[in-house]
Homo-oligomer: A and B are copies of this chain.
Amino acid sequence: MTASIEWQGPHCPAPLRDYPHVVLGHGGGGRLSTELIEQVFLAAYGDKQTLLGDSTPLTLPSQRIAVSTDSFVVRPLFFPGGSIGDLAINGTVNDLAMSGAQPFCLTAGFILEEGLPIEHLVRIVEDMARAARAAGVRIVAGDTKVVERGHGDGCYINTTGIGMLPADRQISINRAQAGDRVLVSGTLGDHSMAIMSVREGLEFESAIRSDTASVCELVHQLIAACPGVRALRDPTRGGLAATLNEIAEASRCGIELDEQAIPVNEVVRSACEFLGLDPLQAANEGKFVAIVPADEADQALATLRAHPLGQFAAIIGQVIKDDHHLVVARTAMGAHRIVPKPLGEQLPRIC
């Protein structure tokens, strides 16, 4: 082998290719992939070194972490109040916050369908960058694959998050105890009904917007004010009904709700009635359920209500002893009805 190249010909950077739509080559790991990364992803977030390597070296502030992964397949990609980009960030940072962790970093994996307008991808990525900044997390690694036209639905996103967990923090859905109070941080069903309205072309008396938001700051304030918080969970797919049944099962207790105390926007309630849907099974993307000891419930409520994202928070029930681990709601008539765990999802592809 010689020690230098005898190449003296002309050499200049390849001209930028201008593809208005995603093509298969954007997922091929070659020059088109690099251009997509540099022109779309790096333009919105991250630095070159971070996103172009096989893996990203990081030094964490401590050794105790929480990890969460979520794929997003919401249809349509854009809806009143947000986009799949907002959901992909907020969904994962909220999952981390539910264990009391402070989100630290995220990875983002894209599965794009051939033909997706680059302009749509840019909007999605910009929404992700903005949501990540709002939640205080960095996007530290990424991946892009492209599938042929007809084998995807524009854009699917996976985000996986690492959060930092204080050494003494023990928040888990198996810690609810009889006597604890059940709170929700705001109105229920907004996300489901926002998706439903745009998907079905329905118009209600006023626009319903998705509640997609990071609840990390609100959770941080709640834990600071009420260190006894037992359990947190965000009622996404399956809604409040699924969330409370999971808590009851995990903690081997029952939960009794006061149906009239559950906050639901008037227009969402009307939309649910019109469509025959149950707001307790509807998905939310910026809300959480908190189980707190009875003596911290008032403080918890006041803390939540003092924050813009928690202004409609309410105490909606209590944890009770019950060997059947049932969730029951006391209706306006004073009767009790069982709130079962949903079988599937009343609206598929809500997130």
Contact = CB atoms under 8 A, between A and B. Distances in A.
A348 interface: yes
Given A28-B238, A156-B111, A58 B66 contact: yes
Interface residues of A, number: 106
Contacts of A311: none
Given A31-B341, A344-B23, A165 B57 contact: yes
Instruction: Give the number of times this chain occurs in the complex, counting copies.
Output: 2
Contacts of A276: none
A24 B254 CA distance: 29
B148 A348 contact: yes
A236 interface: yes
B31 A326 contact: no
Given A24-B344, A26-B344, A338-B7, A109 B56 contact: no
Interface in A100-119: 101, 105, 107-111
Nearest to A338: B7
Interface string A319-333: 011101010101000
A296 interface: no
Contact of A64 (B28, B59, B151, B326): B59
A298 interface: no
A206 interface: no
A153 B150 CA distance: 9
A218 interface: no
B54 A143 contact: no
Contact of A348 (B146, B330, B343): B146
A172 B23 contact: no
Contacts of A4: 254, 320-322
Interface of A: 1-7, 11, 23-34, 49, 52-73, 95-96, 98-99, 101, 105, 107-111, 140-143, 145-148, 150-153, 156, 158, 160-163, 165, 172-174, 178, 233-234, 236-238, 242, 246, 250, 254, 256, 258, 317-318, 320-322, 324, 326, 328, 330, 336, 338, 341-345, 348-349
Top 4 nearest A-B pairs (CB, nearest first) are A25-B344, A28-B345, A29-B237, A55-B68
